[in-house]
Structure 1
Amino acid sequence: MADCSATRIQNPIRVRMLECGMPLLVEEMAGVRTAAVSWLVPAGNATDPEGEAGDGWSSLLAELSQRGAGGRDSRQFSDALDRVGVQRSVSPASIHIVLGATLIGDRMMEALPLFADLIVRPHLPAEALDAVRSLAIQSLESLQDDPQHRVTLRLRERHLPPPFNRSGYGNLAAYERADIHSLRADWMRRVRPIGSILSVAGAVDADELAAKLDELLSGWHGGLAESIPLGESIGGIAHEEDESNQTHIAMGLSAPSEREPESLLCRLATNILGGETSSRLFTEVRERRSLCYSVNAGYSGGRDRGMVAVYAGSTPERAQETLDTIRAELEKFEHGVSEGEFRRAKIGMKSRLVMQGESTAARAAALGSDWYRLGRCRSLGELSAEVDAVTLDGLNDWIGHSMSSPWRDSRTLCTVGKSALDVPVMA
């Protein structure tokens, strides 16, 4: 096993509940000079108004929020962040809009008022709406030229229940009807401290951060009801015709949620199945048979649901054999993995933990994700111990029980290409 002793370093993780009701999560990291911020606000695309009423407005809001805040217009606000040395992004995800930022830790107290202005006091200027709307529409229309991305979005749309199946690219009619007054009201409705999570990692002091934030966020209050499933997932099989010289295949299979202990077993198993160049799918479908130019499998775990997604890109002539071979490999996988495969997967996971431990941005993001999904924060040492505790027999027992015929039969399958593929009943 690789020496991953760095994961045993226990940086203190402090949790402070701010006066506004938002949790502040801080990992004080020794030996680093940088700091990173991950601020989650409950305004992701799953909380957008449905369909033409506002699907995609989270994308508009994420972009507009950066166009001036507090006492500064768009240019002044951008210049102020640059003077402090902040590298930043504001992006919509399924549940949250995420403000991510990295900077030198010594400048954090100068940057916090700017971050607070962006979240609590954004201008959302009317004069910027047309440009922001145009960017969103261009992004939506660009999907027509990207069938690989399109098939993964179709898989999400069919495999997950609404509203968690939204692509984030929005609805053309919703973009066209958006007006600045409705968008401002929508920001005020959704961006509240109850449901928001602020995590910071690096060269910072938790008590100093908490005191400053209580001052900056005075008067910010309220919360938003959590999104809940609005129905069952569609599932099944779907094909979209596309006059391309490629056929794209995406398969979705059920998986544990991140807060279930089995999620680690699923992550390890999926890495062995299709997460690395030594994986089963890559070796058999691409290297040995040369059926496709790309094939992979990945586990994505949310708080309440998870998914294993398999993707392959092939030619129309080889697409059917590609799908058949993937099907055969899934059937073989039920019988378990070898000692060598197991050892490589654990080494890879431990190595990724070490690299995460050296990145303030990765640790800030992980703290926020853990709090949302688990209600607590895990140290790198705890994560490493969880990986160490997995045994080959335990993993194979789980694979045999959870990745068997019923699991394969319940898959969702989406394809994009010249013609649909034959899909026999999976054994």
Structure 2
Amino acid sequence: MTSRSLRTTARTSSEARAVARTQTLLPGKDGIGTVRRTTLPGGLRVVTETLPSVRSATFGIWAHVGSRDETPTLNGATHYLEHLLFKGTRERSALDISAAIDAVGGEMNAFTAKEYTCYYARVLDTDLPLAIDVVCDMLTGSLILAEDVDAERGVILEEIAMTEDDPGDVVHDLFARTMFGDTPLGRPVLGTVDTINALTRDQIARFYRKHYDPTHLVVAAAGNVDHATVVRLVRRAFEKAGALTRTDAVPLAPRDGRRAIRTAGRVEVAARRTEQAHVVLGMPGLARTDERRWALGVLNTALGGGMSSRLFQEVREKRGLAYSVYSYTSGFADCGLFGVYAGCRPSQVHDVLGICRDELDRVAAEGLTDDEIARAIGQLSGSTVLGLEDTGALMNRIGKSELCWGDQMSVDDMLARIAAVTPDDVRAVASELLGQRPSLAVIGPLKDKQADRLHTAVS
């Protein structure tokens, strides 16, 4: 992205600085855990969480773009672009980018999801200015050269091939297609061999200019960081690229809307010569903004979230039919999924599906016991806190919260929401969601008669 493409209205530096706004979103205790937000000219948001007791810092930039923003011909462009931003800028080559972070013992990476993309670096606190400079340069100064597009095409095709070799991963893409069909949410984040081979440099460059405007970005930093210093360094990096010249720009609001998933009883089978059959049985879930998500989290934990869960006990411990069996939820801006995964011998697939379906029906009709709910609340509360023990997790939390919700929730508030879930709350969510007719995705070496029988699992 050139300075010219980022510059829309010429403004002086003093005019730009006059519109920066800073808020304390979560006060913390004695300055520890304080979360602040500054909105810079150009609509760029910077959020930080300060933890003076650690010696590391994680810096990330979240982009309001994911694979659901792609047209069919652009499927895979978001992830392709993620790769290309590491290939060089006006100031740094690809080697310079990686060597700068390696030289200080840091780590740098990125990930692409259905609704967002994140680039991040984790370093010692003293090396945070370097991390900010490198990551901001990548986001604002990428060259996207034709030769890099062609070279990286092979890398992405290898990544697709690597993923295809893991049916335990592919089955989740197959389940998404089963539930969403040929829509952006139903297509794979990586794209397909055909779409990746067809993408051109100009298509990717246009996608970059459209979705990496400062109004679409959230900068997040967590650890031993000073908010004012982070803001100053980020502002300097973006101003150098000519990206903060629009004083009237407004940050892009979180996604909203309501999408109804009406699929029921659909079965997708991919025949492969694998040692196991990989299955996902599931139905529509809840959007990530739905207040019932706390009850769903408790339900999911009790049903298939650990070794004491119903599915683990019934399928693995009592019958020994699978090594891996669990339930999960996926929440998007306007819809969601609830799924149960199991990997088992092909000859046992119908028994495993029968047990899973019986447990879903039983919980939908009868709910969970008080003991199961209490245990799930404790497990979910503990895992929530333990999952925020490093600066990378904290950066992910505040960055994603700003991008997807537009606000922040303290850990204490999260724990209070979980603790407030009642048996009636769980029973209501279970009845509504698990009472739906499920759909099914299966990958494995199933014979024709076995595949035909799979429809009984969703009838």
Same fold (TM over 0.5): yes
- The equivalences for 1:84-99 within 5 A come to 84-99=104-119
Tell me if structure 2 keeps the 8 A contact 1:405–1:426: no
Residue in 2 aligned with 1:159?
Answer: 179
Q: What letter corresponds to residue 175 of structure 2 in structure 1?
A: L
Q: How many pairs does the alignment contain?
A: 415
SS at match of 1:151: helix
- Residues 401 and 61 (structure 1 numbering): CA distance in 2 closer, same or farther, change over 3 Å? same
Q: Does structure 1 residue 362 correspond to structure 2 residue 385?
A: no
Residue in 2 aligned with 1:422?
Answer: 454
Tell me if structure 2 keeps the 8 A contact 1:257–1:301: yes
Give 1:212 shift. Answer: 2.2
Match of 1:346 among 345, 364, 377: 377
TM normalised by structure 1 equals 0.89
Match of 1:400 among 427, 441, 445: 427
Residue in 1 aligned with 2:204?
Answer: 183
Tell me if structure 1 keeps the 8 A contact 2:60–2:221: yes
Inter-partner Cα distance in structure 1 for 2:29 and 2:325:
34
Inter-partner Cα distance in structure 2 for 1:116 and 1:406:
42
Residue in 1 aligned with 2:292?
Answer: 262
Tell me if structure 1 keeps the 8 A contact 2:110–2:120: yes
Residue in 1 aligned with 2:170?
Answer: 150
- The equivalences for 1:26-425 within 5 A come to 26-48=48-70, 50-51=71-72, 53-160=73-180, 162-218=183-239, 219-220=242-243, 234-235=263-264, 236-334=266-364, 335-390=366-421, 394=422, 396-404=423-431, 407-417=434-444, 418=446, 419-420=450-451, 421-424=453-456
- Residues 405 and 258 (structure 1 numbering): CA distance in 2 closer, same or farther, change over 3 Å? closer
- Residues 400 and 358 (structure 1 numbering): CA distance in 2 closer, same or farther, change over 3 Å? closer
Q: Deviations over 1:378-420 (max 9, x none)?
A: 1212212222323xxx2x2233323227743332211123131
Give 1:155 shift. Answer: 0.6
SS at match of 1:40: strand
Give 1:43 shift. Answer: 3.3
Tell me if structure 2 keeps the 8 A contact 1:42–1:97: yes
SS at match of 2:54: coil
Q: Which runs of 5+ in 1 are unaligned?
A: 1-6
Which range moved further: 247-256 or 78-87?
Answer: 78-87
Give 1:425 shift. Answer: 7.4
Q: Does structure 1 residue 20 correspond to structure 2 residue 42?
A: yes
Inter-partner Cα distance in structure 2 for 1:325 and 1:403:
17
Which range moved further: 381-390 or 359-368?
Answer: 381-390
- Residues 422 and 178 (structure 1 numbering): CA distance in 2 closer, same or farther, change over 3 Å? closer
Which range moved further: 223-232 or 196-205?
Answer: 223-232
SS at match of 1:182: helix
- Residues 303 and 231 (structure 1 numbering): CA distance in 2 closer, same or farther, change over 3 Å? closer
Q: Deviations over 1:83-120 (max 9, x none)?
A: 34431102221122210221112221232121111000
Residue in 2 aligned with 1:3?
Answer: none
TM normalised by structure 2 equals 0.83
Give 1:38 shift. Answer: 2.6
Inter-partner Cα distance in structure 2 for 1:357 and 1:248:
31
- Residues 241 and 310 (structure 1 numbering): CA distance in 2 closer, same or farther, change over 3 Å? same
Q: Deviations over 1:193-214 (max 9, x none)?
A: 1121111111111112112222
Give 1:121 shift. Answer: 0.3
Inter-partner Cα distance in structure 2 for 1:148 and 1:110:
38
Inter-partner Cα distance in structure 2 for 1:36 and 1:319:
43
Inter-partner Cα distance in structure 2 for 1:14 and 1:405:
38
Which range moved further: 270-279 or 39-48?
Answer: 39-48
Q: Which runs of 5+ in 2 are unaligned?
A: 1-27
- Residues 166 and 425 (structure 1 numbering): CA distance in 2 closer, same or farther, change over 3 Å? closer
SS at match of 1:150: helix
- Residues 406 and 112 (structure 1 numbering): CA distance in 2 closer, same or farther, change over 3 Å? closer
SS at match of 2:367: coil
Inter-partner Cα distance in structure 1 for 2:402 and 2:362:
37
